Every structure is written in C-alpha cells, then in structure tokens.
Amino acid sequence: MTENDTLQEEEWKEKLTEEQYRVLRLKGTERPFTGKYWNNKQKGIYYCAGCGTPLFDSSSKFESGCGWPSFSNPIKDSKIKEETDINFNMRRTEVLCEKCGGHLGHVFKDGPKPMGLRYCINSISLDFTPKNKDEK
C-alpha cells in the first residue's frame, strides 16, 4: 500500500502547503527561476515533499537553463513513474513519485549524455538534505 492509498485529499490539504498541494496533487507548475532549488549547488539528496521518498542525488543535477531543477537520472528508476501528459495541446512525459503519486514535473529527451534525459522538476515538489561535509 502506498501513501497515496492511505491519505484522502483532505489529509493531503492538511499535510501540504497550498502551493505544494497545487503542484503535487493538482499537477500544477511553479514559475521558472522562482523555486528554491533551481540554482542549488549543494551536494545532497532531493526527496519527495509529499512522502519523503529519495528521488534524485545532486550528482545528477545540471544547469539546463530552463529555470527548474534539472537532473539526468533519478536515484533509482523504481522511485519514479512516468505517464503520458497530453494537456495544453502538447504530448509530454509526466514524472510522478512512485510511492505517493505526487506530480514532480516532466522528463525530456534533451539532457546530457550518456542518457540524454532531462528530468525537469518543480522545486516545490522536493525537499533537500545536504550531505554531511565530513562524508566523502
């Protein structure tokens, strides 16, 4: 059973901020260059803001110029799921948290080699924990 199965929408509204709810549960998008992590250069792990699942390591983060945090790959493919998004007269691949079903962003095929993917993720969908400076 996932967290998505256990929480009702009213419980999500209580758990998340209004903006987190709009993005994670209603599939919204934050404006580019406004999120708290789009320009974060610290080393660490990015987690789902809805359920705490580890999603991306900072080692896969890169500057794409799009205004949202961009990653070349998730920590594990099993931590995310992808669905076709045909909203706004576009065909895109939506990225969701596998555990809670929260909307994270989209993945595009214009990223760095070798994978060639750009996971374009809303900062509001993420929490970040920096790596301990003593860790290698």
Residue 85 lies in a domain: yes
Domain CATH for 71:
2.170.150.20
Q: Is the pLDDT of residue 126 over 80?
A: yes
Residue 120 lies in a domain: yes
Which residues have a catalytic role annotated? Answer: 120
- 23: containing domain: 3-130
Question: Cβ neighbours of residue 86 under 8 Å, at least 6 residues apart?
Answer: 92
Q: Over the chain, what is the mean pLDDT? A: 90
What pLDDT score was predicted for residue 5?
55
What pLDDT score was predicted for residue 134?
52
Q: Is the pLDDT of residue 77 over 70?
A: yes
Grade residue 136 by pLDDT with cuts at 50, 70 and 90.
Answer: very low
Number of domains in the chain: 1
What pTM was computed for the model?
A: 0.89
Longest pairwise C-alpha distance within the chain: 48
Share above pLDDT 90 across residues of the chain, in percent, rounded to a whole number: 76
Residue 62 lies in a domain: yes
Residue 135 lies in a domain: no
Residue 108: CB atoms within 10 Å = 16
Residue 136 lies in a domain: no
